[in-house]
Amino acid sequence: MTEVRVFSRNGVVDSISACGHTDFADPGNDIVCAGVSTVFRMLAVGMSRLLDEAECLEIDETKAFMRVSIPASVHNQAALLVEAALIVLREFEAQYSKYVHIVEVRS
């Protein structure tokens, strides 16, 4: 299962991470894993290209881990991108609840 963690402070998302394999299908054929990965990539590339922010995607394939950090300098401008990413990730959780779980971490 992939656990997606949404880290927020004072109602503002600071980062989103994903850890673990979905195990929906064999590697290379796992559409759920590919979908989750694409959402993370979309958020990171969107912030990079649309907001001129250095790409902030961290990937560790050996640990099946990804994280997108949202710098404080672009919180306001990135809000729609972040919300769109969360909407899609929640859809994955709703449709593939055995494979994707979202945890909200507030501080």
Spell out the domain ranges in the chain: 2-106
Residue 61 DSSP symbol: G
Select 2-106's CATH number: 2.30.130.10, 3.90.209.20, 3.30.70.1490, 3.40.50.2300.
3.30.70.1490
Count of Cβ atoms closer than 10 Å to residue 3 Cβ: 12
From first to last of its 107 residues, what are the pLDDT tens digits of the chain? 999 999 999 999 999 999 999 999 998 899 999 999 999 999 999 999 998 888 799 999 999 999 999 999 999 999 999 999 999 999 999 999 999 999 999 98
44-77 burial: b if 16+ Cβ within 10 Å, else e: bebbeeeeebeebeebeeeeeebbbbbeeebeee
pLDDT at 22: 94
pLDDT at 92: 97
Instruction: Output the CA–CA distances (angstroms, integers) from residue 42 to 7, 10, 94, in the order listed.
Output: 18, 24, 20
pLDDT at 53: 80
Query: Using only C-alpha atoms, what is the Rg of the chain?
Result: 13
pTM passes above 0.95:
no
